[in-house]
Amino acid sequence: MRAGASQFLVQLIGLGLAVAISVAISHGLGASAEADAFLLGRRLVTGLQEVLVQVLTLVFLPMVAMRAGKAALLRLGFWVAAAGLLIALAFAALSGPIVVAIAPEMQGETAAMARRVIVVLSGSLPLALVGVLMGAALNLSGRFGWPALARLAPRAMVLGVFLAGLGASQSVMWAAAGFVAGNAVALLLMLPLVRPLEAPTSQVTPHVGAALLLVAGAQGALWLETALAARAGVGGITLLEMGQRVVALLGNTLALALVMPAFAKWTARPDERTGRHFWKLAAAGTALLVLAQGLLMILAPRIVANVLGQGALGAEGQEALLPVIWILALAPFATLLSRLLVVWRITGAGGHLGQVGLAVVVDLCVRSILGLTLLPTIGVQAVALGMVLGPLASAAVLGALSWRDLRGEGVGLLPVLGGMMGLAAGVVVMWTAPLVLPWFAEQSIVSTLALASLSGVAALGVFTMWVRWRGLVWVFRF
Residue where a domain terminates, one of 144, 171, 203: 203
In tens, the pLDDT along 173-208 reads 898 899 999 999 999 998 888 776 555 555 555 556
Residue 283 lies inside a defined structural domain of this protein: yes
Q: What is the pLDDT of residues 407-416, one digit of tens each?
A: 655 444 445 4
* Judgement on whether residues 404 and 372 belong to the same structural domain of the protein: yes
Instruction: Return d(Cα 185, Cα 170) in angstroms, integer.
Output: 22
283 lies in the same domain as 296:
yes
d(CA 398, CA 395): 5
CB 60, CB 132: distance < 8 Å: yes
One domain, residues 109 and 163: yes
Whether 2 is in a domain gets the answer no
The range of the structural domain enclosing residue 281 comes to 207-478
Q: Is residue 14 part of a domain?
A: no
Q: Which residues of 186-219 are buried (b: 16+ CB within 10 A; e: fewer)?
A: bbebbeeebeebeeebbebebbeebbebbbebbb
Q: Which residues, 6+ apart, have CB-to-CB distance to 115 below 8 Å?
A: 41, 95, 96, 99
Whether residue 373 sits in one domain with residue 230: yes
CA dihedral 339, 342, 346, 349 (to 10 degrees): 120
pLDDT < 70 positions in the chain: 1-8, 11-12, 26-33, 52-70, 72, 140, 142, 144, 196-211, 234, 250, 256-257, 260-272, 306-314, 317, 348-352, 407-478
Backbone angles phi, psi at 348, to 5 degrees: -80, 170
CA neighbor of 263 nearest in space, from 204, 218, 183:
204
Beta strands in 327-453 (DSSP E): none
Is 292 inside any structural domain? yes
8: region left, alpha or beta (phi > 0 left; psi from -120 to 50 alpha): alpha
- Together in a domain, 192 and 215: no
Is the same domain home to 233 and 363? yes
Structural domains of the chain, count: 2
Residues 243 and 182 grouped into a single domain: no
End-to-end CA distance of the chain: 10
- Residue 281 exposure: Cα atoms within 13 Å on the Cβ side: 31
Q: How many beta carbons lie within 10 A of that of residue 317, not counting itself?
A: 21
Query: Do both 212 and 139 map to the same domain?
Result: no
Are residues 371 and 241 both part of a single domain? yes
Calpha distance 440→30 (Å, rounded): 24
| Encoded amino acid at 339, one letter | R
Domain-embedded: residue 117:
yes
Confidence (pLDDT) at 101: 83
pLDDT for 437 equals 47
The answer to whether position 128 is within a domain reads yes
CA distance 381 to 318: 13
- pTM to 2 decimal places: 0.69
157/214 same-domain check: no
Looking at residue 478, its pLDDT comes to 44
Q: Which domain-ending residue is among 186, 203, 220?
A: 203
Task: Provide the pLDDT for residue 22.
Answer: 72
CA distance 36 to 38: 6
- Among 179, 203, 227, which residue terminates a domain? 203
User: Are 264 and 150 in a shared domain?
Assistant: no
Among left, alpha and beta (phi > 0; psi -120 to 50; other), residue 185 is alpha
Provide Rg for the chain, Cα atoms.
22
| Residue 24, in any domain of the structure | no
Q: What gap in Å lies between CA 54 and CA 50, rounded to an integer?
A: 6
Sign of CA dihedral 399, 246, 39, 123: negative
Same domain flag for 191 and 214: no
| Residue 4 falls inside a structural domain | no
Q: How far is CA 52 from CA 131, 209, 420, in A?
A: 10, 14, 28
pLDDT for 128 equals: 87
